A and B are shown apart, each in its own frame.
Chain A
Amino acid sequence: MNIDPRWAWAAYAPSAAAPWNLQRVGHLYRRAAFGANWAELQAGLSSGPEKTVDALLAGGPDAEPFPPAITKANNGFQLSSWWLKRLLESKHPLREKLTLFWHNHFATSNAKVNNTGAMIGMYDLLYRQSLGNFGDMAQEITLDPAMLVWLDTVTSTRGQPNENYARELMELFTLGIGHYTEADIREAARAFTGYEIKDGRGRLNPAKHDATPKTVFGQSGNWSADDIVKACLKQPACPYFIVGKLYRYLVSEADTPSRELLAPLAEAFAGDFDIGKLVARILRSNLFFSDTVYRARVKSPVEFAVGIVHALEGRVPASALALALESLGQRLGYPPNVKGWDGGQVWLNAQTLLYRQNLALALTSTDDDRFKSRTDPAQLARSLGKVEGDQPVELFVDLFLQGDLRTGTKSQLIQFLQEARRQKRPAFWSDERVEAQPLRGLCHLVLAQPEFQLA
C-alpha cells in the first residue's frame, strides 16, 4: 500500500470526496469506543469531526470502581464481569478501549496470577496510563505485582535468573523480534533478579538481586530493572513497535504499514512517549477517515456484544454477558497467553460466528432468560418513533451499519419486515407483541449481516 505519510497523518477535513457523514461518525465510534447509539450518531453528525474526537478524548467520569468484595473473595469470574460492566457503563469509552488494548499488549492472565486484587491493581494502572505516558507505564508494569507473578520475576534471584520478563519486555512489550539478541536477554534477566511483592507492591530485595555489571544493547553497567526498561525505550525500534501495534488496533489490521508511513508518528512518539497525543493524532487523521481503512478490522467479542447493548440502550447483567463472551473466545483478565488474543480473523470461525448470531438473538429476542427484555429493539424503535412502514429498517440499518449493506440486502430486509407483519400470529398474542415481534426479528437479521462483524 503506497500512502503519502504527510497526507495520511494530516488532519482530516470534510470535503466533497470525503464528507462528514453517518458512516464516518459510526467509524469513529467503532474504533475509539464500542460503537455509537442513535443520539451519539446524530450528535456526531451535527458536531463535526473535530468536536466529536475532542469529546471522545475528554470522555466523562469514571465508571464504578471494582468493589473490594471481588478481591476478598478472589473471584475471577466477578473480575471479568465487573470489567465488562465498566465497559458497558463507561462514560469514557476511549479510555476503556485503550485499557483493553494495553491489557492485550501486557497480556497477563489471572489463570496463573490467581489474585484478583493484583489483577485489579494492574487494570487500574493500565486505565490510568492508557492515554498517559508509555515510558511510565512500562516502568510501572515491570514492578506490578500481577506481572511479577505472571512472568515469574518473583522467583528470579541472584544466581538463578529467570529470563521470562526480560524476553517478553523486549519481544512483546517494547521492541519486537529482531531488535535484541539472546545475550541481551540473558544479561537483562540478571537485572530483574531480587524483585518481590511486599504489602501488595513490587519492590527490590537487594539481598537477592544480582548487583554485578551487565551488558545490554552494548552498554555495560550495574543495571537494575528500571535501567533495562529505560534502555529498551531508547532503542529506535521501540516507538515504531508501539505505533505499529496501535495502528493495527485503531486504524487497520488488513495491511502491514510501511516504516515510512509510521515514521511521522513514531518520531513524534519517541520524543515524549505521550500516548494521548499519539492517539489524538491518529483519530484526527486523513488516513483514519479514509475509505482505505473503513471496516478494516474484525470486531472482538467484547466490541461485538458491548456495541449491541450500547446501541440498543440496554442495561444487561454483566455476569450473563461475560459468560456468553467466554464462549466467543474472550474472557477479560484471562488472555490465552503472554501474546494476548490473536485477534483479527482468528475471532471468526464457523462456531464463533454461530455463537455470535445466537448471542445477538438472545439480546434482541427479549425471551432469553439471561437478558430478558432489557435490550428490546422494538422498545427502542417505539421510543424513537420509528415503527411505521420501512422506518424500522432505516433505523436498524443506520444504527448498526450506518447504511453499509450489499446491493439488494436492504430490499430483502424490507421484504422480511413486510412478511413478518403479515404472518399469522397466535390468537392470544397481545397487540403490542404482534407489533413488536417483527421488529425484533428484523434487528436480529441486521446484526447477522457480515458487515456488522467488522469495526
Chain B
Amino acid sequence: MRWLPAILVGLGLVGPGRAGEPATLLQLLPKQADAALVVDRPRLLVESVAGYPVLQELTAFEAVREQLASTSSRQLRDLVRHFEKELGKPWPDLLDALAGKGACLGIRFAGDSSGVMLIVHATDEPLLKKALAVALDVIKSAPRADDAKIASAEYRGVTGYQVGPNAFVALSGPVMFLSNKREAIRAGIDLHLDGPAQSFESAGRAKAARDLLPRDPLAWFVASTERLHEQPEAKQAYEYPKGDLIQLILFQGIIDTLGKAPGVAGALTRSADGMTGTIRMPAGRQATPSGLALHYPADKSPGSLPLLEPKDVLLSTSFYLDLSRLWNDREKLLTEKTRQDLEKAEKDLGRFLGGRRLSEILAGMGTHHRVVVTHQSKPGYAKRPDQPIPAFAFVSDIRDPAYPNAMNAILRLAAFIGGAGAQFKYAEETIGEAKLITYRFPESKTVEGDGAGFRFNFSPCFGRVGDQYVVSSTVELARELIPLLNAKPGVGEAATSRLRVYGAGGATVLKAVEDQLLTQTILDRAVSADDARKEAARFIDWVRTLGSVGIEVNYSADDMRLDFHHRPARTGGGS
C-alpha cells in the first residue's frame, strides 16, 4: 500500500505524508551542512535587540534617524508594510506566525559545492503559503522580472520555485526552505517527509560543542570543524614546532584548542544585567602538548590578576603569558630558523640591554601582566599638547627579585639614548614603599619637529611597586596605580585573559577631543556648528552611559570559553 499516499497526493486529496514535527530545526538541516545559525524565537530576538536600551537610545541621534530615513531603509519598511497589508497582521505577529517555531541558516563550505539554506518553521501554515504567494508576486513585479522568470517544479508532491539564477524556494507544510542549491531544498524536503535520520542533528555533528551552549539563547550557532581540520593551512597551524613567533605568542592557545575541537558553538543571551556573547569549544588545556602552554598555568593557579581600574579608565586588560617558557622550550616550540632568529636577536639586543641577556629578562619577568589605558585627567604639564592622547601603563609581576633592578638599568639606558635630544629631566619619586624613576620634558625649551607639543603627553616613569613592576607613560597614572597595586590583589581569576573597555573613560577622552569630534561631525553630516555641537554632546553622553564591554578567555581542562559581555552603566557595569 506504499503507493496509496502518492496517489492521494496526486489527486490533491491530501498533502504529502510527513514525519512528525521536528524537535529542533537541525533535524531539517541536511547532514552535509557544516554550520548552522539558529534563532529559536525570532520575535524574541528582534524585540530583545531592538529594545536593548543602548541601541534604543541611538535612535535619538540625527545621524541614525537619517539612516533610518534613507532610501534603503524606506524600501525595507515599504516591503514590510506591503506584507502587513497583504497578510493582515502587524510585523511582530507575522514574525510569530511565519517563523514562530524558529529559523535556521545552514551553511556548507565546500568550494564549488558550497551552499546556504534558510529554513523557516511557521506556526500558521496557511499564512506561510499566502506569504510565499505575496513574495512571488513581489519578485514578479520587480523591474528585472523579464530576465528572471519564476519557474516551478514538483518534488515528492511539494511545489518548488526557482526565483533567480541561484535561488530556490519550497514549502513543505509549515516549513519553508530557501537555498541557492536545488539539491539542498530536496534534501530538506526529504528530511521533513521522511524524518531526521539523515539530518545534521542525527549525524551528531558538532554535538560536543552544542552541549556547551548556555540555556535559552536568543540566537546560537554551531559549526563542525571536520572539514576545516582537513585543510593544509589548518594542519600546518596545528603543528609543532611553530615558525611564526607572533602567532605562537598571541594565538597559540586558541589555535591548539581549535585543532583538537570537533566543533565550535556560540550563543547570544540577554540577562537582566546586559548582553552576553559566547564562543565555546569542547577542547581545553589538554589541547596543547603537555608543558608547552604559554597562555595558562600548568597547575590550577590563577589565570589572570584582577583588572586595574583607576579613575577615567578607558581600557584595562589582564592576561597570563609565560615568556620565559618561550625561551626555555624553544627547541620544542620553534622551528630551527625561528629559533636561530630568536637567538640572534638575543645576541644583538645585548648592547641595548646594558650587557644583560633577553633570556634573563624574560626569566625574571612574571607571568601575570596587566595593561591599563586612561584619560589624562590630571595633566602633568602646564603646556598642553595639540593632540592629547591617553596615558597607558604596563604592569607585570616579578619572578626574579633581581628583575626590577635589571629593568631600571635597561630603561634608564633607553631614556639616556632616546631622550638626549629632548633634554629629559630625570627625577626620583618615592610613594610609600614604591620608588619611581621619572622623566619630564622641560616646558621652557623648544624641540625641533614638535611644535604641536606632542611630547607633553608623556612623563615616562618606571619602578617596582610591591611584587609588581610598572612602566607608565605618565607619572600621574603611575601615582594612581600605586594604591591599587598595593591593595592585595586577592586570588586571581580563572580567566586566563580578560579585557574591558569602559564607556565612561571613552566619554572623557572624547570630551578632551570634542573640537575634533565637532569638526568631523560637521564634515561628515553637513550640519551647522550648533547642531554638530548638540549632536557631539549627546554622543559623548551616550558613550558615558554605555557601561562597559568585556572579553574573557577561560581554559578549563576540557573546554574553552570566549565570552563577550556588555554591561550597561545603569546596572553597575561602568566605572
Quick one: which of A69, A318, A374, A423 contacts B516, CB cutoff 8 A? A69
In chain B, residues 64-116, which have Cβ atoms closer than 8 Å to a Cβ of chain A? 66-67, 69-72, 74-75, 78-79, 81-83
B50 at the interface (CB under 8 A from A): no
- Tell me the complex Cα distance, A433–B79, Å: 12
Chain A residues, Cβ within 8 Å of B516: 69, 72-73
- Tell me the complex Cα distance, A96–B69, Å: 33
How many Å from the CB of A73 to the closest CB on chain B? Answer: 6
How many Å from the CB of A126 to the closest CB on chain B? Answer: 21
Chain B residues, Cβ within 8 Å of A423: 143
Summed over the interface, the residue pairs from A and B with CB atoms below 8 Å come to a total of 85
Chain B residues, Cβ within 8 Å of A318: 522-523, 526
A350 at the interface (CB under 8 A from B): no
A4 at the interface (CB under 8 A from B): no
In chain B, residues 30-75, which have Cβ atoms closer than 8 Å to a Cβ of chain A? 66-67, 69-72, 74-75
The interface residues of chain A, by DSSP majority, are classed as loop
B526 x A367 contact (CB < 8 A): no
Contact with A along B144-175 (1 / 0, CB 8 A): 01000000000000000000000000000000
A449 at the interface (CB under 8 A from B): no
How many Å from the CB of A329 to the closest CB on chain B? Answer: 21
B142 x A426 contact (CB < 8 A): yes
Chain B residues, Cβ within 8 Å of A74: 386, 452
How many Å from the CB of A284 to the closest CB on chain B? Answer: 35
Identity of the chain B residue whose Cβ is nearest the Cβ of A429 in the assembled complex: B78
In chain B, residues 519-540, which have Cβ atoms closer than 8 Å to a Cβ of chain A? 519-520, 522-526, 529
Chain A residues, Cβ within 8 Å of B82: 427-428
The interface residues of chain B, by DSSP majority, are classed as helix
Measured as residues with beta carbon below 8 angstroms from the partner, the interface class of chain A is 35 or more
B444 at the interface (CB under 8 A from A): no
B486 at the interface (CB under 8 A from A): no
Chain B residues, Cβ within 8 Å of A70: 519
B145 x A424 contact (CB < 8 A): yes
Quick one: which of A69, A316, A424 contacts B526, CB cutoff 8 A? A316
Quick one: which of B386, B519, B526 contacts A315, CB cutoff 8 A? B526
Chain B residues, Cβ within 8 Å of A410: none
B203 at the interface (CB under 8 A from A): no
A428 x B515 contact (CB < 8 A): no
A428 x B138 contact (CB < 8 A): yes
A427 x B522 contact (CB < 8 A): no
B137 at the interface (CB under 8 A from A): yes
- Tell me the complex Cα distance, A68–B513, Å: 12
Contact with B along A46-79 (1 / 0, CB 8 A): 0000000000000000001001111111100010
B523 x A78 contact (CB < 8 A): yes
B247 at the interface (CB under 8 A from A): no
A317 x B137 contact (CB < 8 A): no
Output the residue of B75, B83, B145 with the most chain A CB within 10 A.
B75
Given contacts A69-B516, A426-B143, contact A317 B525 (CB under 8 A): yes
Chain A residues, Cβ within 8 Å of B452: 72, 74
A372 x B71 contact (CB < 8 A): yes
Given contacts A73-B387, A428-B79, contact A374 B143 (CB under 8 A): no
Given contacts A367-B70, A367-B72, A430-B78, contact A68 B523 (CB under 8 A): no
- Tell me the complex Cα distance, A374–B63, Å: 13
A320 at the interface (CB under 8 A from B): yes
Given contacts A78-B519, A424-B141, A428-B81, contact A317 B529 (CB under 8 A): no
Contact with B along A289-329 (1 / 0, CB 8 A): 00000000000000000000000000111111000000000
- Tell me the complex Cα distance, A67–B525, Å: 16
B78 x A72 contact (CB < 8 A): no
- Tell me the complex Cα distance, A353–B238, Å: 51
B518 x A69 contact (CB < 8 A): yes
How many Å from the CB of B524 to the closest CB on chain A? Answer: 5
- Tell me the complex Cα distance, A357–B436, Å: 63
- Tell me the complex Cα distance, A136–B364, Å: 68
B137 x A427 contact (CB < 8 A): yes
How many Å from the CB of A432 to the closest CB on chain B? Answer: 9
Identity of the chain A residue whose Cβ is nearest the Cβ of B386 in the assembled complex: A72
Chain A residues, Cβ within 8 Å of B522: 85, 318
Mind listing 6 A-B residue pairs with CB under 8 Å? A317-B523, A373-B71, A424-B141, A424-B143, A426-B141, A430-B74
9 smallest CB-CB distances across A and B, nearest first, come from: A428-B82, A367-B71, A69-B515, A72-B386, A319-B523, A69-B519, A427-B141, A81-B523, A315-B526
11 extra interchain contacts, Cβ-Cβ under 8 A, other than A64-B529, A427-B82? A69-B515, A82-B519, A82-B523, A316-B526, A317-B524, A319-B520, A319-B524, A373-B71, A428-B78, A430-B74, A433-B75
